[in-house]
Structure formats: structure tokens, C-alpha cells
């Protein structure tokens, strides 16, 4: 299993979850866990995903998700679980 952390942040608008999740489904990325909140009109979502069945490499998924984010006005960041864990270690 290749766990990947995906974060989505930006001004709340209709369709953010649908657009991101549609892209993931089309690219065989499985969502293992998801958390989302809206605070004072700002949307924040974090997903733990499994990219092992995707035919695309992680850097391609990351670039394409960034483009999806730009289309809907949010910032999307993708990190492999190992990098995320090391960056957030105390």
C-alpha cells in the first residue's frame, strides 16, 4: 500500500469535494480516511489515500491535482506518507 496525504484548503464553494474525489476515482486512488471542516467560510480537507492501484506516478497525480485545485480556487498539496510523517515529527 502506498499511503499519500492530500490536503485541500481555500475559500468554501460548491463542488470542492466532488471535483477532488471524482479525479481520485478516475485515477484509481482509494480514500482510506477523510476529514473536512469549514471555518469562517474557509474549507479545509485532509485525506489519507492509497495510490498503489493508480497507473500514474505520485508526481503526476500531484501536478494534476494542483491543476484541479486551481480550477476550483483551492490549494491542493500531495505528499507521500513518509515525507509527511518526517516533516511533522517533533
CA distance 41 to 38: 6
Q: What is the pLDDT of residues 20-60, one digit of tens each?
A: 999 999 999 999 999 999 999 999 999 999 999 999 999 99
Q: According to the model, what pLDDT value does residue 90 have?
A: 57
State residue 70 phi and psi, 5-degree precision.
Answer: -60, -40
* Strand spans (E) along 12-90: 30-39, 42-50, 74-80
Amino acid at each position: 500500500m502506498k499511503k499519500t496525504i492530500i490536503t485541500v484548503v481555500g475559500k468554501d464553494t460548491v463542488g470542492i469535494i466532488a471535483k477532488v474525489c471524482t479525479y481520485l476515482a478516475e485515477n484509481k486512488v482509494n480514500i482510506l480516511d477523510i476529514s473536512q471542516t469549514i471555518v469562517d467560510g474557509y474549507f479545509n480537507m485532509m485525506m489519507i489515500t492509497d495510490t498503489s492501484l493508480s497507473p500514474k506516478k505520485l508526481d503526476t497525480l500531484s501536478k494534476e491535482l494542483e491543476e484541479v485545485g486551481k480550477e476550483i480556487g483551492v490549494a491542493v498539496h500531495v505528499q507521500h506518507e513518509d515525507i509527511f510523517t518526517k516533516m511533522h515529527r517533533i
